[in-house]
Amino acid sequence: QVQLVESGGGLVQAGGSLRLSCAASGRTFSIYAMGWFRQAPGKEREFVAAITWSGGSTSYADSVKGRFTISRENAKNTVYLTMNSLKPEDTAVYFCAVRIGPRIPYEYWGQGTQVTVSS
């Protein structure tokens, strides 16, 4: 089992920045990659960004490329999502998740943190 706790959400004006954190505990040695997803009201959950735990390879949704940066701090078992140039359409609940292999679906999920971007 891996437990995840997100923090850092809040209310920000359009054009502003936020940094989300996700701390992992438990069987962290099993982590292959960590990702961020988001779900806006009335919409399905969507992929935002991911990073592999050992090599640090990253991937991003097209909608956030150039604005969001995912990073990790292995010593603290923590992944970050730095969000710049925020837009109202970025408003959503943001979740972090863990996958334990390259072809295995994300299995462990945090409780989510609300990000609200006002226009």
Report pLDDT for 56: 87
Please state, in angstroms and rounded to a whole number, the distance separating the CA atoms of residues 20 and 105.
22
Tokens at 64, concatenated:
């956030």
Residues lower than pLDDT 70 in the chain: none
Q: Which residues pair with 8 in a beta bridge?
A: none
Report pLDDT for 55: 84
Report pLDDT for 73: 94
Q: Which of 41, 61, 39, 38 is nearest to 49 (CA)?
A: 61
Pairing of strands 46-52, 58-60: antiparallel
